[in-house]
Each structure stands twice: as C-alpha cells, then as structure tokens.
Amino acid sequence: MNKKQQDILEEAHKLFIEKGYLDTSIQDILERSDISKGTFYKYFSSKSELLLSLLSTLQETMIVQREKLADEYTDSDCHMFEKQMIFMMDFIAENNISKIIETTLVLNEKKIFHYIEELKISTLNWIYKRFQQIFPQGKHSELFDGAVLFDGMLNNVLRTNKMLNTSLTIEHAVRYCMEHTKKMIETGIGNREPLFSEKVITSLFEERRDEHSSTEFIRVTSALKRFVKNNVGDETKQKECLEIITFIYDEVLEDNASPRKFIISSSLSSLEQIEPVTGSRELEEYKRGLNRFIGNSATKGEH
C-alpha cells in the first residue's frame, strides 16, 4: 500500500469516527483527502471496499503490535496473554472500531458482514491458540470451550460497562474474566462434556485459515521468536536464529507479489539445523504458516 492510499484511509477513518460510516459520503472523503474522484476509484471500487481495506489495515497493525508486545514481555504466559488482550481492547476503543462496525449493521452488504464475522472468528482462534500455550495439559475441546466463554464474557462485560457508564477499566475487566475462565478450565469444564467437538472445531478453522494467512504468519513468527529467546542458550546461535526469522519475515511481507522461494527455502534449511529449534512444535507451526502465506501470495499474484 502506497502513501496516497494510506492518507486516504486515515482521512476516511477520521470521517467515519466523526460522522459515522453511513453519513460519510465519497464526496466527503474526496474533500477531506484533497483528491479527485478518479484518484479515489483508482484505489477503491466503492466506499464499502475502502472500509474493508481500513478494517484490514487496522487488524494487521493491531496484530503486529500485539505480537511485538509478547516478544518484549517477560512475565508468565497467562499474564502476557492478559497484557495482549488489554492492548487489543484499548486499540479497538482508541480507533473506534466497534462504533464504525456498529454503523454498518443496518446495511445489507454481504462483504462487510462476512469480513466482520471472519474478524470475530480470527480473534477466537487466536484466543484458543493462546489457551493451548497457557494450559498445555488441557484437552483441545475444553480449551476451545474456555476460549468461547472468555470471549463472550469479556465482550458482554465491556458492553454492559458502556451501557451503564461505570468506571470499570478494560484492565480490570480482562483480569476478572481471565481469573474466572482459568478456574473453569482447571476445575469446572473438565467435569462436563465439551460444548463443541474436535470435529466441529477443526472444520471451523480449516475452512477459514487461508483467509487470514498473513495474520497467522505474523502470529507463528512471533511464537517462534519467543521460543528461540527462551530455549536457545548459546547467544551466537540465538542471534543467528533471530536474524534468519527476521530475514524471512521481511522477504515474505515485502510488497512484491512473489517472495523469492529459493532464498526462503535456503534460510529455512539453515534454521532447521539449529538445536533445539530442530523439530520443535513452534518450528512446525511456523513452517505451515509460512507455506500457507507464500502459497496465497503466489495465487494472488497470478490474477
């Protein structure tokens, strides 16, 4: 995305906050961005396409910053997760994302509705993945139930807080919901049949995983970096690992449509030779996420 597109998105974002999505016209965006109608349609086919691009950009920014936060945070995995959730809720509030989305609900625009649903599923999937790390002994079906309960509880607490206009902070809400979810996972959920079966969980994410391959790649990259920092004791080898991961990340997320697969493959081979990265679960997840994203990038470049 070039600077002109970014500038248009930034100005449109401000207008959506000020006037609401419905009451913001393309003419408003043209005047605020100081561009012609031709320039607008060069980048966006409609106002709804612009909104999708804005939501996608905000989502990518949030995920990159969320994972960077995890790289820098040295406390327990549970506290790290709480910190990430607090950051995400603050980010959503500061950028008025919920307010913008709410104004689109009266529209019968399937693309927007579908994208919003995918965002929700993507967030649920991330919480579920993080619960697998926080509670490594838990059964996947129970952890998925826990992720559903946590996500629903937190969103309803924050919605009620907004409705009642109380002084409850996002930090308090996140920690409160996590404390109760943790108790349920450790003591309560295991005594009952899971709400959702492994088959249902698998099908939910398998059908959609390619649609969020870039965000998944960012997640597995950060997870592998954390693994290297925590498990590769030799400083020289640790530095080498991190440099390779960073190189692959920069190569894959370049704006060109075709990452240089032979260079990525060579770099990955070097990474696989370093213990204890070799054969680790984090490396295998990273490779799957990398291959999926490269495959999607190549497919997009063909159209």
pLDDT of amino acid 300: 44
Count Cα atoms within 13 angstroms, Cβ side, for 229.
12
What is the distance between the terminal CA atoms of the chain, rounded to a whole angstrom?
18
pLDDT in tens, the chain (303 residues): 678 889 999 999 999 999 989 999 999 999 999 999 999 998 888 898 899 889 988 988 898 889 888 777 666 789 999 999 999 999 999 999 988 888 887 777 777 888 888 888 889 989 998 998 898 888 888 899 999 999 999 999 999 999 999 989 999 999 999 999 999 888 765 556 788 887 777 777 665 554 556 667 777 887 888 789 889 999 999 999 999 998 898 888 764 457 788 899 999 999 999 999 999 989 998 999 898 888 755 434 443
Q: What is the pLDDT of residue 75?
A: 60
pLDDT for the residue 195: 83
| Predicted pLDDT at 298 | 45
pTM, 2 dp: 0.73
